[in-house]
Structure 1
Amino acid sequence: MEKHTPEASHGQFLIRHASLRQIQIFEAVARHLSFTKAANELYLTQPTISAQVKSLSESIGLPLYEQVGRNIFLTEVGEHVACTCRDIIDRLSNLEILLDDFRGMTRGRLRVAVVSTAKYFMPIALGKFAKKHPNIDLSLKVANREKMLKRIHQNLDDLYILGQVPPSHLDLEVIPFAPNPLVVIANSEHELVGQKVSLKKLAKQPFLMREEGSGIRSAVEDVFSEKGLKVNERMTLETNEAIKHCVVGDLGVAVVSRHALYLEDMHGPIAELDVEGFPINKQWNIVYPKGKELSLLAKEFLSFLQERGNKYIQLEGKGSVESA
């Protein structure tokens, strides 16, 4: 009988010792950083989840996570294993979609993550896409730029919409998608409404700023620093809705994506200011890791956005988006 040395069989060790169920379970634990949430998602008991993760860790021979109190943190090895688990699950999902196509059915899962200002048009685009594919599972995550880059690194989603090109050290496909102008807003009764405003004059105004890690914040800071000016920051807020409410309350001026204003009445309590250097002409980018095999659904949605996505973006005034 043929004998295999440990060295000869090392390349197939995980194939023989790790099950697809363990891969699915560890991916869920890594995504939630919680055994309880993974158990709830997969309809398993927590002891079952713990046992399967322990078995996978023993098969690999290295710790996949550390536990501090009630919190768990992935080790560096755990991060790599989690990314590979997601690749395996994605490829199997792609195979399922392909098999469903042979059966004459369209099913599958589409996961999209967007920076916070893209939430004003992405639900509309997803809604139109879902009408063509009513049986698919959809996931839409909204986060600031810093958290989005982390999601990309962890391979948590199929496609990402970003307002700024990611750092060059990330090996990504970047597809320009649509304009994303950043504008200065103020209360409609503010003294600067209707004026031509210099950046130096604007710098004297109390500013409502997005949080650290926000793409809009970094864009504003860059514009001011280029002129040797500093932002007179009054408050830091984590959502555009909070910023707009504070502008209505006349607590200061702010910079938002013009997309964030498309539901606002042009005669309402918020006005766009005419400021030197604004709008800052940014654009949306569709992003995904280079080499990532997109699912058939993700490929179709990518084509859908490139062909029709602009129809669901409203840039001026109040009105309804195109219904086609």
Structure 2
Amino acid sequence: MRNATIRQLQIFSVAATHLSFARAAEKLHLTHAAISLQIKQLEEVSGALLFERIGRRVFLTEAGEILLDHTRQILQSLKEANEALLALKGLRGGRIAVAVASTAEYFAPGLLAEFRKVQADVRIRLVIDNRDTVSRLLAGNEVDLAIMGRPPAGLDATAVAFAPHPLVIVASADHPLSKLPNVAVEDLESETLIVRETGSGTRSAMEEFFHERSIKPRIGMEMASNEAIKQAVIAGLGISFISQHTLGLELSAERLTILKVEGTPVIRRWHIVRHKSKHLTPALAAFWDFVLEFAPGYLRKLVC
């Protein structure tokens, strides 16, 4: 392996993570042929087959899995060495990769903007996806930290709750239930629910809410976008269980109404999460501390 190059390991890491040479080419802005050539050269210097194709699917071989584990450690060590050298030189810069659960996209960009006011030289890569994908990115060391609801189960992680996360049931402004001072959960059994996809934190919280009350909701539509859900509710296609942090514009414009359903809002917590083995570079430590100190007040303003 002493003849392997850092570039080959970087390409291998991306291809192995996505199990797709085409996806690696897209991510790295290279041609498919260039990816294949670099992988072939890495296989030659390692003396082992790293990928195998079964049907239309690509899998890592046992050798590939072993090399991927070591490759991630090597690339992370190089990144940490770069950050440490920058800190030693007295530079304030650095890079961090942040993943946020899709519901947090309504406040995460604002948080990052506030952070950049005090740490203008830190470069940030932001990834927005559902809870399952964010958990996978953390586990694979593809991001430095995540902002999400419940920390992923089974991951050896450091997680700190930093703010309440209220979840509510909404309807269009002219929905009959919006006129009631109080709504019983049983009143929702005949309503059509528009819900997030399986794998999202909001979907899990909704399922827990109804399960605890022995209610089987009537799911009419499933969508992977909070924006699409809100527009569907506004159009009168149903009601929804959704984060209150996503509703600012629609509530102020009186296009949506939060139903006064018993047992709501359901209060969860926002967490900032990193892998326990993640080294806190100066940039990462600064952002971690900033979120814990600044975010609670920032989020409180969104539901006032």
TM-score between both structures, scaled by the size of structure 1: 0.84
Q: Which of the residues 186, 191, 194 maps onto 1:208?
A: 194
Q: Which of the residues 264, 272, 281 maps onto 2:250?
A: 264
- Alignment of 1:93 with 2:74, yes or no, is no
Task: Trace 1:1-324 onto structure 2 (pairs within 5 A).
Answer: 14=1, 16-35=2-21, 38=24, 46-67=32-53, 72-75=58-61, 77-167=63-153, 169-193=154-178, 194-313=180-299, 314-317=301-304
Quote the offset at 1:183 in angstroms: 0.5
1:300 is paired with a residue of what secondary structure? helix
Structure 1 stretch displaced more, 241-250 or 124-133: 124-133
Aligned residues: 302
User: Structure 1 unaligned runs (5+)?
Assistant: 1-13, 318-324
Quote the offset at 1:220 in angstroms: 1.1
Alignment identity in percent?
39
Q: For the Cα contact (< 8 Å) 1:25–1:49, is it kept in 2?
A: yes
Tell which structure's C-alpha radius of gyration is larger: 1
RMSD, matched Cα: 2.5
Return closer, same or farther for 1:215/1:45 CA change in 2, 3 Å cut-off: closer
Aligned partner letter, 1:50: S
2:302 is paired with a residue of what secondary structure? coil
Counterpart-to-counterpart distance in 2, 1:224 and 1:288: 31
Q: Deviations over 1:8-44 (max 9, x none)?
A: xxxxxx4x34332322221233345444554566566
Counterpart-to-counterpart distance in 2, 1:218 and 1:247: 20
User: Structure 2 unaligned runs (5+)?
Assistant: none
2:252 is paired with a residue of what secondary structure? coil
Quote the offset at 1:115 in angstroms: 0.8
Quote the offset at 1:247 in angstroms: 0.7
Aligned partner letter, 2:303: E
Counterpart-to-counterpart distance in 1, 2:9 and 2:138: 20
1:275 is paired with a residue of what secondary structure? coil
Aligned partner letter, 2:165: N
1:106 is paired with a residue of what secondary structure? coil
Structure 1 stretch displaced more, 194-203 or 208-217: 194-203
TM-score between both structures, scaled by the size of structure 2: 0.89
